[in-house]
């Protein structure tokens, strides 16, 4: 056990527990639990969204991929930043104007409520549980590598903290944990970037050149093709990040926490600026690790995931020095905070899908206002999903690939959520059967193709009936096709089209949107 690191980890936990205690006194109604009373400002929400994207998969995963394979690791970062244009111009303001707590609100707005809601809630749960397991596995691996604690207790520790934030502090705690972490991660990233550039007299090209000189690929290390022999796999990974990111439930629900559409829009502006700077910094950190870490460090980075902490140790003075110890402890603790903050947001969106969508709108629509206003069902749902995710993670074990699971969650979100969300806002003829067939078609197609693909099918790449790891090139068009077929093959219903006008006016102008509560 490393004492410096334990102190830093404990400090992070103490800060987040403090935030949760503060938030729990301000969280008693449903609107406060799921949407922080719609009191979050645009800038705060932008930081929180940036925090959601600056997850363990991007901070540890992207820097590791760049260190190992070069430019290919950075392509996913460009795809993720692109997806924010979709979020800004298609979803941000409309989510705030048309929805209440979940993306199923927007999908079921103009369509027959129960079946569409049930379908949308199902895909949310599938996406979130995939993503949650990915982050929990990452937490277990990270804590094990950095403190010597074994996998299962590390997952349980992370899971219990996550449950604490969400069950007691709701969206307010989830948002502020995310904001504090985003500021810490940006600061640490900037410190590492400056420390790396310092050694190259702030000449970035000199840094890249030195990195290429130390990689077996030479100059090709600075171009694409370093990791994946099949170009279709790179293409499908890029598309999964570019479209899937825009359809992630835990990111879209953040637009319900701001007072109005203007704030929703501004929060994307902040997020795009911060995430862009952060992703550019990951390229410096990843290439910096190649240029500065001693040759043969690949083994020690454990598949690339520990590249950033090891580089921090090196920059601080190396193993065994005081500076090295403190810097690796700091970076590791911030990585831990990243996972805690991201899993809390995921759990909250799953809790919304169960209590708001399934319980109150599908199974118990007769519940009275007092029952709906309470947060008991929401808190119990969060607890249930959290416990299931923790047990699944421990059962599936530490051999799962974190980046892969995230990519699969993105594929499902892109195939099941994205087509229906786009069409419900833009196509007047779109109707209930179209939405149900589209959502379920996209969900089933992506899950089946993942199972038939090289990562899950026994025998791997040679035996798999479907050649691609990420199914999006087939499953997104299939999702759109299902939406279209379901719509045109079913009879026209006047109600679906008249509510189209209500959704159109409300989403474009905010007339009739959920009001912010007074604080």
Partner 1 sequence: MPFSPTPPAVDYRAVAHSPGFKTLVARRRAFVTAALGLAVAWFGSFLLLTCYAHGFMQTVIAPGLTVAYVLGLSQFVLVWCLTGAYLRSSQRVFDPMQVAVEDSVAATTAGEHA
Cβ proximity to partner 1, 204 vs 388, nearer residue: 204
Cα–Cα distance for residue pair 201/287, rounded to 1 Å = 16
Cβ proximity to partner 1, 71 vs 418, nearer residue: 71
Within 412-471, the residues that bind partner 1 by CB under 8 A are none
One of 220, 302, 317, 367 touching partner 1 (CB under 8 A): 220
Structure tokens at 517: 């509560």
Among the candidate windows 114-122, 142-150, 477-485, 507-515, which touches partner 1 by CB under 8 A? 507-515
Cβ proximity to partner 1, 34 vs 131, nearer residue: 34
Q: Which residues of 115-146 are buried (b: 16+ CB within 10 A; e: fewer)?
A: bbbbbbbbbbbbbbbbbbbbbbbbbbbbbbbb
Rule CB under 8 A: is residue 17 a binding residue for partner 1?
Answer: no
Among the candidate windows 47-55, 150-158, 326-334, 500-508, which touches partner 1 by CB under 8 A? 500-508
Rule CB under 8 A: is residue 79 a binding residue for partner 1?
Answer: yes
Rule CB under 8 A: is residue 286 a binding residue for partner 1?
Answer: no
Question: In the bound complex, what is the minimum distance in angstroms from residue 356's beta carbon to partner 1?
Answer: 20
One of 43, 214, 265, 493 touching partner 1 (CB under 8 A): 265
Rule CB under 8 A: is residue 231 a binding residue for partner 1?
Answer: yes
One of 115, 225, 303, 374 touching partner 1 (CB under 8 A): 225
Cα–Cα distance for residue pair 106/463, rounded to 1 Å = 41
Cβ proximity to partner 1, 203 vs 321, nearer residue: 203
Cα–Cα distance for residue pair 1/214, rounded to 1 Å = 33
Closest CA to 5 of 302, 319, 333, 316: 333
One of 242, 274, 377, 425 touching partner 1 (CB under 8 A): 242
Among the candidate windows 327-335, 388-396, 462-470, 508-516, which touches partner 1 by CB under 8 A? 508-516
Cα–Cα distance for residue pair 24/33, rounded to 1 Å = 9
Structure tokens at 419: 């087509």
Among the candidate windows 5-13, 169-177, 202-210, 482-490, which touches partner 1 by CB under 8 A? 202-210
Between 50 and 69, how does the x/- string for binding to partner 1 read (CB under 8 A)?
--------------------
Question: In the bound complex, what is the minimum distance in angstroms from residue 86's beta carbon to partner 1?
Answer: 7
Rule CB under 8 A: is residue 224 a binding residue for partner 1?
Answer: yes
Cβ proximity to partner 1, 204 vs 302, nearer residue: 204
User: 116 near 104, Cβ under 8 Å?
Assistant: yes
Between 86 and 125, how does the x/- string for binding to partner 1 read (CB under 8 A)?
x-xxx-----------------------------------
What lies within 8 Å, CB to CB, of 7 at 6+ separation is 329
Question: In the bound complex, what is the minimum distance in angstroms from residue 518's beta carbon to partner 1?
Answer: 4
User: For 297-363, where are the alpha helices, taking DSSP H only?
Assistant: 307-315, 322-351
What lies within 8 Å, CB to CB, of 385 at 6+ separation is 125, 128, 129, 132, 347, 350, 351, 354
Rule CB under 8 A: is residue 205 a binding residue for partner 1?
Answer: yes
- Cα–Cα distances in Å, from 283 out to 78, 207, 287, 288, 304? 11, 11, 6, 8, 14
What lies within 8 Å, CB to CB, of 162 at 6+ separation is 340, 343, 344, 347, 386
Sign of the dihedral through C-alpha 143, 251, 21, 329: positive
Structure tokens at 9: 């980890």
Would you call 490 helix, strand, or coil by DSSP? coil
Question: In the bound complex, what is the minimum distance in angstroms from residue 207's beta carbon to partner 1?
Answer: 7
Cα–Cα distance for residue pair 188/438, rounded to 1 Å = 43
Rule CB under 8 A: is residue 209 a binding residue for partner 1?
Answer: yes
Count of beta carbons in the 10 Å neighbourhood of residue 82: 15
Cβ proximity to partner 1, 145 vs 212, nearer residue: 212
Number of residues interacting with partner 1: please give it, by CB under 8 A.
60
Cα–Cα distance for residue pair 32/35, rounded to 1 Å = 5
DSSP letter (8 states) at residue 364: -
Structure tokens at 511: 């007339």
Rule CB under 8 A: is residue 26 a binding residue for partner 1?
Answer: no
Write out the residues near partner 1 by the rule CB under 8 A.
71-72, 74-75, 78-79, 81-82, 84-86, 88-90, 204-210, 212, 219-220, 222-225, 231-232, 234-235, 238-239, 242, 262, 265-266, 268-269, 272-273, 276, 279-280, 283, 498, 501-502, 504-506, 508-512, 515, 517-518
């Amino acid at each position: 056990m490393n004492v410096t690191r334990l102190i830093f980890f404990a400090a992070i936990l103490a800060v987040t527990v403090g935030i949760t205690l503060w938030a729990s006194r301000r969280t008693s109604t449903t609107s406060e639990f799921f949407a922080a009373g719609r009191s979050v400002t645009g800038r705060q929400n932008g930081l929180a969204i940036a925090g959601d994207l600056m997850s363990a998969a991007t901070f540890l995963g992207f820097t590791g991929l760049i260190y190992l394979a070069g430019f290919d690791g950075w392509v996913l970062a460009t795809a993720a930043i692109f997806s924010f244009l979709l979020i800004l111009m298609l979803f941000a303001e409309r989510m705030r104007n048309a929805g209440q707590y979940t993306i199923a609100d927007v999908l079921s707005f103009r369509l027959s409520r129960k079946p569409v809601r049930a379908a949308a809630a199902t895909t949310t749960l599938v996406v979130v549980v995939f993503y949650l397991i990915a982050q929990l596995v990452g937490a277990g691996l990270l804590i094990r590598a950095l403190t010597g604690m074994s996998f299962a207790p590390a997952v349980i520790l992370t899971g219990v903290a996550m449950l604490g934030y969400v069950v007691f502090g709701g969206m307010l705690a989830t948002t502020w944990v995310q904001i504090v972490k985003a500021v810490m991660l940006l600061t640490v990233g900037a410190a590492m970037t400056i420390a790396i550039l310092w050694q190259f007299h702030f000449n970035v090209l000199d840094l890249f050149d030195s990195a290429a000189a130390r990689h077996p690929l030479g100059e090709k290390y600075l171009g694409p093709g370093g990791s994946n022999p099949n170009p279709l796999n790179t293409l499908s990974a890029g598309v999964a990040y570019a479209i899937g990111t825009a359809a992630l439930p835990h990111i879209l629900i953040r637009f319900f926490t701001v007072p109005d559409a203007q704030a929703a829009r501004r929060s994307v502006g902040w997020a795009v600026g911060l995430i862009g700077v952060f992703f550019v910094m990951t390229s410096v950190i990843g290439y910096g690790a190649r240029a500065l870490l001693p040759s043969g460090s690949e083994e020690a980075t454990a598949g690339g995931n520990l590249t950033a902490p090891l580089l921090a140790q090196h920059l601080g003075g190396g193993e065994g020095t005081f500076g090295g110890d403190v810097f690796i402890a700091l970076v590791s603790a911030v990585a831990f905070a990243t996972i805690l903050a991201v899993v809390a947001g995921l759990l909250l969106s799953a809790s919304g899908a169960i209590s708001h969508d399934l319980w109150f709108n599908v199974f118990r629509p007769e519940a009275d206002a007092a029952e709906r206003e309470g947060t008991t069902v929401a808190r119990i749902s969060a607890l249930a999903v959290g416990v299931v995710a923790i047990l699944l993670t421990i059962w599936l074990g530490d051999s799962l690939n974190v980046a892969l699971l995230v990519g699969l969650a993105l594929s499902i979100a892109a195939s099941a959520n994205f087509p229906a969300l786009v069409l419900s806002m833009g196509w007047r003829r779109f109707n209930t059967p179209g939405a149900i067939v589209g959502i379920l078609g996209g969900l089933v197609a992506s899950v089946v193709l993942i199972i038939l693909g090289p990562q899950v099918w026994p025998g791997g790449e040679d035996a798999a009936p479907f050649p691609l790891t990420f199914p999006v090139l087939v499953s997104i068009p299939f999702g759109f096709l299902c939406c279209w077929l379901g719509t045109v093959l079913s009879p026209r219903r006047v109600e679906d089209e008249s509510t189209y006008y209500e959704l159109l006016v409300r989403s474009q102008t905010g007339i009739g949107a959920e009001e912010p509560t007074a604080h």
